[in-house]
Structure 1
Amino acid sequence: MAGALKEKQLVRHVYAALQAASCPLVEGLYLQETDSMLQLLCAPSQHRTDILAWICSSVNPNFTNSKVMSMRSKGPDVLTGEMAVIGQELMLCRADDLDLIRGDATPLWQLQFLKQLLSLVPACKKPAGHRVDQETLLNELYAAENLPHFTQMLNPTLDPWPAHIKALCNGSKSSSYKSSREVAADVAPLLELAQSTLQKLQSECEFLSKEAQSPGVFSPSSLRVAASDLQLLMTTFSHVFETDLRAYCSRDPPSFSTETDVFERIHQLLLTFIMQLEMLKEISEASVSMTEEVNQLHTQPSYRSRGEKRNLQDQLEELTRRIGDFFSLFHS
């Protein structure tokens, strides 16, 4: 019972993600029943294969329509194997999971695979109905009917100064001079406090010191600072969008995901990759050392025979000659 409920939830999620990504193969279907969605996404059919090929082309730019048509002309197994290879490269399945690609696997496994694959499509980061397409947003902002508004923003006819700034500008010189002195007297302690705080932070944060970090070394602290700066910039853009651009666009502002496990997974993969590189380096060094030892055994004289040092090759030749002489004397 719990498995069937999970299948229904997954199939609705996957179908909604395809609609959010504007998949042309589901447009105009308007499926409402869960069984119909399961039949579309989990039963072997040419339509299901086309949907999976479209997802693979959205994830992998090299998987073009012309390449799909070429593989399809060679046979259905060629296209199935190529999509399985893409799934293996994305660490979502194995290259021999052809039943999963054809649609012969269990529906739950297929739906989980499709959900993970669709999560890599940029347009599926938000569910259908709340998705913000950046390209569509920019096209709407820079539409012909909105250009006069941008021109007015660049050359405003109204005075943009706030009321308290206007009062300072329109006041007498003496009052303005007095206000400026008062403002300077109030701001100076704040600047000194901010400077001392920044110096204290710089002494405490190792990643802000150039001497504390050698160039070319990966720093998780720097990554956190860069991610925080990026989020701050995007938050500022959202605020500007809400205050200044909302009147010219009917779409919702972009939202930010709180899922940060992708950084952890990437960090673990990088550590594993570095460990494998170190192992390969040690294997290479051990191979070079073993080769040198073997060459030294063959070339360096280290065996004594009749008061002389000989190498292994000469010693073996001498031993072979003596055995041959012994047998020749025995037969004679």
Structure 2
Amino acid sequence: MAGVSKEKQLVRHVYAALQAASCPFVEDLYLQEADTMLQLLCVPSQHRTDILAWICSSINPNFANSKAMSVRAKDPDMLTKEMAVLGQELMLCKASDLGLIRGNVSPYRQLQFLEQLLTLIPGCNKPAGRRIDEEILLNELFAAENVPQLTQMLNPTLDPWPAHIKALLKGTKSSHKQSREEAADVAALLQATQSALEKLQSECEFLNSEAQSPGVCSPSSLRVVAGDLHQLMATFSHVYETDLRAYCSRDPPSFSTETDVFQRVRLLLLACNTELDMLNALSDTSASMNEDVNQLQTQPHYWSRGEKHTLPDQLEEVSRRSRRLLSMLHT
């Protein structure tokens, strides 16, 4: 039942998309039942082939040129093959999926294919769902056969509207009602999202604090700081020589080129890192040895009398045999 319901929803959507795209083969049709729409779009027929050919020509205008049409008239299967090739170029099917083009596969697969094709028609940007075009409704209301009924609108004894006009009016009202419901749902979702964001911001107090934790000093950061300091000092010396010396009676400051302090600090940091690596390796080695000892004590590795035994069991067996041998010697 769920699959049938999904097919009916999809066929209504595809049929509404064909109407929105102004397909000439559905303009004069006023289908209301999903079963009738499935019969039109999913059962092999010339009408279905014409609809599919119109969609292909709307996507690719060269598909409907006169030369190609004359060739297709001589070979009826040529049109089916060319539509399959176009579907392959659009990466929607394979060139060998002729059953899909003829309508010999499952209705749901056909409807998916039609829906994907309709999204590629230029200018067809109608949203998903059943939509009633107001212009089509007005054209239908003011058609010649409906003028007498429009003239009698002021008469309280107005005869009922035709069934297809009632369906159009009902569809327009339900569409507006659905739009209002969707807008209310979106507003509620936005409000809930805003509340969740405000709660999250109140819980993350660190986002509002300006104080930042001091960075950890490392050898790489120390080298960067020393390099920046040397660069600033060299820049200042250059600026002093070119711009400030004429306005200052003092000699330019002399900067020592000794780097022993930085070298000693670097060596100490390297020694500290080496010691930390050694401690880390020692910890890993200890854990590995502990695991090996546990395996020796808990897992059987030693054969005795056709069976494997653990090391403690084997030592106990050897000790027992030794005690028994010593007791036999003393007696």
TM-score (norm 1): 0.38
TM-score by length of 2: 0.38
Instruction: Report the structure number with the largest CA radius of gyration.
Output: 2
